[in-house]
Structure 1
Amino acid sequence: MKQKLKTAYSSLFSYLREKVNRVQYIMIVASLVGLCSGLIAVLLKTAVHYIEKWISEIPLSRFSYLLFPGLGLLITVIIIYKFYGGHIEKGIAMVLRSIARRSSFIPFSHTYMHVVTSSVTVALGGSVGLEAPIVATGSAVGSNLARIHQLNYQERTLLIACGAAAGIAAVFNAPIAGVIFAIEVLLAETIISYFIPLIISAVIGALCSKIILNENILFNFVLKQTFNYYNVPFYILLGALCGFISLYYANVFKKVEHKMHDWRLNPYAKALIGGFFLLIIYILFPTLFGEGYDSVKLVANGDSNIIHDNTRLFALMNNEWAVIVFVGAVMLLKPMAAGITIGSGGNGGNFAPSLFVGAYLGFFFSKLLNATKWFDTPVGNFSLVGMAGVLSGVMYCPLTAIFLIAEITSGYELIIPLMIVSSMSFFIVKHYQPYSMETRKLALEGQIFTHKREQNILTSIQLSDIIKNNYQSISIDSSLRDLVEMIKLSDKNIFAVGDKKGNFIGIVELNDVKKQMFNPELFDKVSIRQIMKKAPDVIYAGESMTRVMEKFDLTHSWYLPVLSEDRKFIGFISKTKIFEQYRQIISAQSDLYDN
């Protein structure tokens, strides 16, 4: 049966390939990517929703649900160690690295591993979101369908973005936000013709959500108040706050995650300890349990009935100030809970937590203003706009944040405050950190593409592809005669010099020994030690191409030696070869309609 389905599938698409042109064929495959990614996103969201509902209805004890986060982390770690070798690349960083360093090939296992592990983590109470795993899964679907249909690197990259766009569109029923997310976060360079397949995929993903998901599962709101331009100064202040809270979020999350991850403990013990930490946090602040979208809905609708005061501490204050203090504390603790979840072995992302923090920040800010009795700000509107501000600052996607909130509120009533707050937040975080917390390390190492075109092209050049390793090396104890014999048999004009242990110590260039070569009397009198010279610089095998070009620019050289980490000579790299590769990559970056 399985073989028959494969044969039918191959026959169908072979027929289509013959009947349509290449652009039309890509549109068909993009539609298939959108359908698969949308269905997977809907399946994941539905499964998590009903598991969370089941947990909330357990009658044993009102605190029994607190045991589930540790169980979820433990099961996730067991799955990762038993089936995936103890480590999986997670989230958006994995996708970006695959585009830049792996020719947009993502292993087939990524089409399901994130669904399995993130559903267990989040459904059982991990304080993270499903969006990053959905993006990773949708991208893997796009990459693998592109591989099956024998598409080239440019087309594979486009279909990766299509899968991500469909996933985001399905989760939020927001196709515009899905398209913009793919362009803003995944595609460092966008060609106009990319928009059509991206739109097709996102629309199909959103339709999967619209048709299959129940209204109570979808993340949407109804605005209760219109935009009042008198509140613009407060939205500006909120934008600044969102920027600094985003920096706080990134700093706390990474510190906690690294602290948990670096503990030299048995991974199963670490998962249980992480679960215990979450249990303590959830006892004090139950709203931090899971994704928290139900809590966000209450906040964004201006509902003050969000305090679950298990400690009785907030009962000591009057209701209005108790709400303000509670919301502020929850907002500051969310990145810590997310860091514990990921650091102790869970799988999830920061998309949902950043929306959560933003909603609570907007609520906190507007409630604080209203508590002075001098102002009357719309709490729900500020909560929604705050979501966009923190999402923009944490994920570095201001346009996605603007259109996401506009779409889930079914209109553009808040478009002006959304633009103000998102752009201000992004401007502030960008000033302090040029890259997001998830991609900073990889971007600085040259492992992923950024929005710098020249650097992206250099990143896509593999050092191993342009090293010329057919160069000979000569011992420092050899004579000029040995070098002359080597020159006779070689077409090269540069040679590496090594010591007795084989370590690289210098070079000899043909131009430097021309005079001695025509004086045979010197052949046995002159040693290599006398005529060798220090290389202007050396390149190590693991260095980025950006760093390689910096060395060429500083030394004004056309050839530099490449060494292993233990200083063994590998070969030479020429600036000419780099320029040749550079030109080839530029010529390959064409519009789909030019094919």
Structure 2
Amino acid sequence: MHKPQVILRYALIKLRKYTNRYYLLIFSFIIGTLAGLGALSLKSGVFYLRRKLIFNKIFDYENLALLLYPIIGITLTVIFFRFIIHKNQRDDIPSILHAISAKKSLIPPYKIFSSLIGGLLTAGFGGSIGLESPIISSGSAIGSSTGKYLRLDYKSITILLACGAAGAMAAIFNTPIAGVVFAVEVLLIDLTGFTLIPLLLASVSGAVVTKIFFPDEILFNFKIEESFTIVDIPFYVLLGLIAGFVAVYFNKTYLYIIKKFKEIDKNRNRILLGALTLGVLIFLFPPLFGEGFNTIKTLLAGNLSHILDNTLVHKYKHHEFVIIPFLLLLIFLKVPATGATVGAGGIGGIFAPSLFLGAITGFLFAHIVNLLDIGFYISERNFALVGMAAMLAGVIHAPLTGIFLIAEITSGYELIVPLMIVAIISFLTVKSFSWDSIFTKELSESGQLLTHHKDKAVLHFMDLDSVIETDFLKVPPEMSLRKLTKTISKSRRNIFPVVNEKDELLGIITLDDIRDIMFDTEMYDKIRVENLRTLPLAIVKRGDTMSTVVQAFNETGAWNLPVTKDGKYIGFVSKSKLFEVYRKHLINISDD
């Protein structure tokens, strides 16, 4: 190729590369805006639907309405997905992680709308879940579908998917920094020069939608009224520990409930059990209705007694011996309420329930300390706020998301030190019980989870078929040494698989194994391959992950390992081929 042609080709490659990057910047802004509008539509829809249902008082007895509405909502949600979408809706954020880890980042376009409608029906009628997961799912589907339509590569589609999630997260709470951090920390997107700017643009555009269109009554914002003091640090440490244990309870109980619901064969039985359980819980404990943000606002406003309004014990709402057990029961029962909602077929996430638990845990802890009158007064409002960060850090294993979310919600960083303390302690407490988050556990156990660990990420993207080599000459066990030497002379390889007539692997022969006798002509017709074969140090199975393959090489020290499927020989994997493909993938994922 002539030099001018080489230069032109190089220039075209570079131009296409930078053109794609500018495309990403433009579409990241658009996707963030659309995700923000999705957040606006769902949160506004839920707000006005609830106001219509509750404040118009369709039922004379309000608690009767709270009993029936969730049953109606879950039933409508299941009907919508079964008869209109004709799909079973998966958990939203785990399904996003699955799409990314499946090396395609493709989310079905129908999820752009189905997640929002499902969330509206479930949460609008009082399902005890959060709206964040459906909104993030919708935003991610917008990004993924855009990337697929533009025929972008996996890496670019993944970035646009993350932009949709970041824009949605930023719009929900008006927290642009938390939106970016969420995409990196929860969706496991690598933060590089190539990904940072699109994520920032999407997050900012989502937050701008919130600023322009969201009515004040829908926003979840607070002002810090009492400053942080150093003497409070021991109490924050203790709160972080308590929140960590509550998060462990949340994770284990929620996953157990979901597992039990999946074991129920018929949809009708799942709906009946879940909806009735939820309805009864809300009937007895009205604060379990919906995401729980109204309860959080009531606590932060200092109106503790109002939480018992419309309950069976409202007559005792000014008595501490009733309020404290009631709050403890809310902490204990919020998880079954959320699990029953999702298990029955409702659409929603665990983000808002985590904030609900965190706020009550933090507030109750501070309230009890103040009641004990041990010589310290600690801010119940501040502890409720940092409790939300602690619970988020523990439940979804995202301490940075929790820290920046609460910092931005409170419009400042005055609580940054206690936020960091409680988030770190809660996170470490939960990690001591389970290394995987509630989102990643299933993927991690199946070996399909893509992580920030560079080596594991590269191995995840590698395909076993891409490193299998098949240009090895097979030899039968009855072959004589004479014929074997002729076969060796025709081969470029120094290793030979021994297989029977069914292609089942019986062993291997290497040149080193026969070097001493291959020139002894007297033995040519006396020795058979059967006498020379040895068992390989390890055998790679067709379904093994690349991590398993690398581990086999490390443990055996071998340079070549045979690959089989159901005992039948397929080929060999060599260290040199493995390293060659590994390096290509490493360059690809590191290319900014």
Equivalent residue for 1:580? 580
Separation (CA, whole Å) in 1 of partners of 2:41 and 2:28:
20
CA contact (8 A) 1:446 1:546 kept: no
Equivalent residue for 1:371? 371
Equivalent residue for 1:289? 289
Cα pair distance change 1:525/1:300, threshold 3 Å: farther
1:222 equivalenced with 2:223 (yes/no): yes
Q: State the Cα distance separating 1:462 from its structure 2 match.
A: 1.6
Cα pair distance change 1:86/1:531, threshold 3 Å: farther
- What does residue range 231-310 of structure 1 map to in structure 2 within 5 Å? 231-263=232-264, 265-304=265-304, 305-308=306-309, 310=311
- What does residue range 173-184 of structure 1 map to in structure 2 within 5 Å? 173-184=174-185
Separation (CA, whole Å) in 1 of partners of 2:564 and 2:289:
51
Give, as a single letter, the amino acid of the residue that structure 1 aligns with 2:26. Answer: I
Q: State the Cα distance separating 1:541 from its structure 2 match.
A: 2.3
Give, as a single letter, the amino acid of the residue that structure 2 aligns with 1:53. Answer: R
1:139-196 deviation digits (Å, cap 9, x = unpaired):
2222222233343333322222211110001111111111121122224531145332
- What does residue range 128-167 of structure 1 map to in structure 2 within 5 Å? 128-167=129-168
- What does residue range 506-525 of structure 1 map to in structure 2 within 5 Å? 506-514=507-515, 517-518=518-519, 522=523, 525=526
Separation (CA, whole Å) in 2 of partners of 1:44 and 1:189:
29
CA contact (8 A) 1:191 1:591 kept: no
Q: State the Cα distance separating 1:473 from its structure 2 match.
A: 4.3
SS of residue paired to 1:112: helix
> Equivalent pairs: percent with the same residue?
37
- What does residue range 150-549 of structure 1 map to in structure 2 within 5 Å? 150-263=151-264, 265-304=265-304, 305-308=306-309, 310-312=311-313, 319-374=319-374, 375-471=376-472, 473-476=474-477, 479-480=480-481, 483=484, 487=488, 490-499=491-500, 502-514=503-515, 517-518=518-519, 522=523, 525-549=526-550
- What does residue range 547-558 of structure 1 map to in structure 2 within 5 Å? 547-558=548-559
Cα pair distance change 1:51/1:504, threshold 3 Å: farther
SS of residue paired to 1:563: strand
SS of residue paired to 1:432: coil
1:265-286 deviation digits (Å, cap 9, x = unpaired):
2123212211111122112212
Equivalent residue for 1:4? none
SS of residue paired to 2:496: strand
CA contact (8 A) 1:96 1:448 kept: yes
Cα pair distance change 1:76/1:540, threshold 3 Å: farther
Cα pair distance change 1:233/1:39, threshold 3 Å: same
Cα pair distance change 1:561/1:130, threshold 3 Å: farther
CA contact (8 A) 1:98 1:104 kept: yes
CA contact (8 A) 1:443 1:450 kept: no
Point out the more displaced range, 393-402 or 539-548: 539-548
Q: State the Cα distance separating 1:514 from its structure 2 match.
A: 4.8
Q: Across the two proteins, how many residue pairs are aligned to each other? A: 573
1:484-507 deviation digits (Å, cap 9, x = unpaired):
565566544333334565543322
CA contact (8 A) 1:132 1:349 kept: yes
Give, as a single letter, the amino acid of the residue that structure 2 aligns with 1:380. Answer: R
Equivalent residue for 2:11? none
Q: State the Cα distance separating 1:387 from its structure 2 match.
A: 0.6
Cα pair distance change 1:111/1:465, threshold 3 Å: farther
Q: State the Cα distance separating 1:422 from its structure 2 match.
A: 1.4
Equivalent residue for 2:58? 59
Point out the more displaced range, 439-448 or 199-208: 439-448
Give, as a single letter, the amino acid of the residue that structure 2 aligns with 1:293. Answer: F
Q: State the Cα distance separating 1:343 from its structure 2 match.
A: 2.5
Separation (CA, whole Å) in 1 of partners of 2:553 and 2:110:
40
Q: State the Cα distance separating 1:99 from its structure 2 match.
A: 2.4
Q: State the Cα distance separating 1:481 from its structure 2 match.
A: 6.0
Point out the more displaced range, 346-355 or 444-453: 444-453
Separation (CA, whole Å) in 2 of partners of 1:501 and 1:408:
67
Equivalent residue for 1:48? 46
1:34 equivalenced with 2:32 (yes/no): yes
Separation (CA, whole Å) in 1 of partners of 2:475 and 2:124:
64
Q: State the Cα distance separating 1:540 from its structure 2 match.
A: 2.0
Give, as a single letter, the amino acid of the residue that structure 2 aligns with 1:563. Answer: T
SS of residue paired to 1:306: helix
Q: State the Cα distance separating 1:571 from its structure 2 match.
A: 2.3
Give, as a single letter, the amino acid of the residue that structure 2 aligns with 1:369. Answer: V
Q: State the Cα distance separating 1:554 from its structure 2 match.
A: 0.5
Cα pair distance change 1:230/1:58, threshold 3 Å: same
Separation (CA, whole Å) in 2 of partners of 1:143 and 1:155:
9
Q: Which runs of 5+ in 2 are unaligned?
A: 1-14
Give, as a single letter, the amino acid of the residue that structure 1 aligns with 2:273. Answer: I
Separation (CA, whole Å) in 1 of partners of 2:506 and 2:336:
50
Q: State the Cα distance separating 1:477 from its structure 2 match.
A: 5.1
Point out the more displaced range, 571-580 or 374-383: 374-383
CA contact (8 A) 1:189 1:453 kept: no
Cα pair distance change 1:200/1:329, threshold 3 Å: same
Q: State the Cα distance separating 1:331 from its structure 2 match.
A: 0.8
Separation (CA, whole Å) in 2 of partners of 1:125 and 1:317:
23
Q: Which runs of 5+ in 1 are unaligned?
A: 1-16
Equivalent residue for 1:6? none
CA contact (8 A) 1:73 1:272 kept: no
TM-score when scaled to structure 1? 0.89
Q: State the Cα distance separating 1:371 from its structure 2 match.
A: 2.0
SS of residue paired to 2:186: helix
Give, as a single letter, the amino acid of the residue that structure 1 aligns with 2:396. Answer: M
Point out the more displaced range, 239-248 or 426-435: 426-435
CA contact (8 A) 2:36 2:168 kept: yes
Separation (CA, whole Å) in 1 of partners of 2:574 and 2:174:
51
Separation (CA, whole Å) in 2 of partners of 1:403 and 1:329:
29
1:561-584 deviation digits (Å, cap 9, x = unpaired):
2223x3333322222122112211
Q: State the Cα distance separating 1:366 from its structure 2 match.
A: 1.4
Give, as a single letter, the amino acid of the residue that structure 2 aligns with 1:360. Answer: I
CA contact (8 A) 2:66 2:286 kept: no
Q: State the Cα distance separating 1:202 from its structure 2 match.
A: 0.8
SS of residue paired to 1:533: coil
Give, as a single letter, the amino acid of the residue that structure 1 aligns with 2:432. Answer: H
Q: What RMSD in Å do the two structures reach over aligned CA positions?
A: 2.7
Give, as a single letter, the amino acid of the residue that structure 2 aligns with 1:33. Answer: I
Cα pair distance change 1:376/1:548, threshold 3 Å: same
Equivalent residue for 2:3? none
SS of residue paired to 1:271: helix
Cα pair distance change 1:315/1:31, threshold 3 Å: same
Point out the more displaced range, 244-253 or 185-194: 185-194
Separation (CA, whole Å) in 1 of partners of 2:428 and 2:37:
36
Separation (CA, whole Å) in 1 of partners of 2:479 and 2:290:
70
1:206-232 deviation digits (Å, cap 9, x = unpaired):
111222221111111233433333322
CA contact (8 A) 1:287 1:308 kept: no
